[in-house]
Structure 1
Amino acid sequence: MSTFSELGIHKSFIKGLKELHIEKPTEIQEKAIPVLLASKTDLIGLAQTGTGKTAAFGLPVLHNIDPNNSNIQALIIAPTRELVQQIQKQLFKFTKYVDHKIFAEGVYGGEKIDRQIQRLTRATHIVVATPGRLLDLIERGAIDISKVNTLVLDEADEMLSMGFKEDLNKILQFNTSRRSTWLFSATMPNEIKNIVKNYMSPNAVRIEVNKDALVNKNISHHFIQTHIQEKVNMITRILDQRPEQRGIIFCRTKAGTKALAEQLQNEGFAVGALEGDMQQKERDKVMRAFKNESLQVLISTDVSARGIDVNNLGFVLHHQLPEQLDYYTHRSGRTARAGKTGQSIALIIPGEMQKLIEMQKALGIVFREITM
């Protein structure tokens, strides 16, 4: 097990990491940091969320910045506003004890574009962005990415499944010759392979973290057999048993999310809903309440939960099994972060056992039954 200083991280950064209680490098940090510090290279990192990716690419990005050069030197693209804000916050905290100022700016939808344009007129070394808003700013001439020497794509598979394929292709076509591209993804669908083929070097370094574990090994998987009309009842009993734990309940539809939230609120549970029709202000309010623990449980659709990163979640509950396999991975990966353990519990109605058996096989996990 190496230390951050053995990996080549500068003392001043290590002091900032200590304060964030980041003492020992995770597997992805151990594998990626030395490579990214030592040479200009393209990199493909296969890693789930919650494995410490932000420091794995963030520290080398910060090491590469020339603070005396006021051009945008690094661009980090992520799927959601929440993830962008979180990466920007981390970078800021990593640089707390660094002598020279490194400025990182976040740009995303849901905030007035004029304010972002205004902020970008100051010296900015790193831009962290969602694809749509970034493209908008490039096309308005408010952001110049021609001097970027490092481009990071974080959660690339999430960006594609959210419909950002065209935006990403447009962004990746700028200044291809002079930059290194680092791509991180939990899964490798064909569309990601195309990005690799079209915009990255054939000699790109490949790093995989716990390759066999499609799903984080600190999560235990469970199912409860029930009936449609019994589900709400079952969920209240599960929550009653876990008064101290926080979690997320996943529903397939916006309407289902709203209805379940209302039913549980009427039962006196501190729950909030996240769904696609919400205004960004509302969404931020719910997320704040969840982060400061005045809400115990979030109820969310798959798309609305993108980019949520909250530590110490005890469980994820599936009101219904997701349509797609990788959704199960993304859902359950919201718990058991940063080395903690967590439970993933699926409510199964008659006729769904077959699907459960297929999921076990495909994901290499074992579901254990809980009887209530």
Structure 2
Amino acid sequence: LRVRTQEERKAGGRVFIERERESRESHILSLSRNYRIQKQSKMLSLRKLKSDPLAPPSDFIQMLLIGHRGVGTCQEQELRRRRCSELGLPLPLRFRENTLLSMMQAEKAGAHFVQFEVQLSKDRVPIIHHNFYTDDGRFVGNLTRAELQDCNEEDDDILHEQLYTTMESFFDFLPEKLGFDIEIKYPRQYKTGASVCPEFHWDLEDYVSKIVNSAKRHSIRSVKNRLIFYSSFSSDVCLALRRLYPECSTVFLVNHKEGHKYTDVHGLNGRSGLEFATSAYLQGVAIHSEELQPPKEGGRNPTEFGREFIHDCKRRRLHCLTWGPKNNSAEFRRLQREWGVDGVIYDNIHAERDDLAGLL
């Protein structure tokens, strides 16, 4: 046998190293959920995702409590006051939805996260507001930040009570331990061909990028440790978030009661939403809580539907969140906790201190 020269040994070593590098790269490229791939100047670098914001806060708290627009919608608060009046009970305080004061009250009541809707003003400022239109029928995207502030009533001079507040103020004034569920508002199209908001003119990726970049900038400036995840009823927004910001946690919102009205087939019901979240490599799905307890059919226990759906989410390593008026029932929230639901979004969180103590 001929002994290899030093040059041949070096060449063989380079071939071995090259093969190892190719094998390592192919393995790295197969990772799609937990890492973000960046290839710059012929070097492959990995950036691991941030800690999962939807993970249980502790070993003793397995289900996240998320305040819906703070301490709930104005409509739900009014219904609660009416019930209390009929029963002769003290009337609970009212807080305007999507205001700083409402968010602060949710945090005081023990909420881990608050949910709020974000859209852009005419001057590209992320504004907190649920509807695409103001109370007088004007499109939010056609008004500047200053014009939206003028829409507040004269007796709402206090910043914490103002509507159309900026997302920046939420980062500046709300405590660090309070997480954010940032729902990105985006109009969907009806099957008739009409749009939910015909005046909407933003490019999808530009619209999403402006909101997320603003959140990142304010998060770094104010609080770096705040837990944040994004959500949307639009599958296009979820795909844009996954494509542009794979390091961010994204949850797909589903409303089975209205999903049939839109062209987006992914939002028909919880099952279609679950399939979409799986294929798009999202972090979770948020369904209407009524889907966990459908009417009895054929004598079957309706709670089995809820257990099966949540088990399927766990099997696919997806987080399962729920929302809807039924979540205002403390007993139903306890039941969801037993099933393994990761988080509940509900109203009147500030009026359920006794129930919160039982959940925690």
Under a length normalisation based on structure 1, what TM-score does the superposition of the two structures give?
0.26
Under a length normalisation based on structure 2, what TM-score does the superposition of the two structures give?
0.27
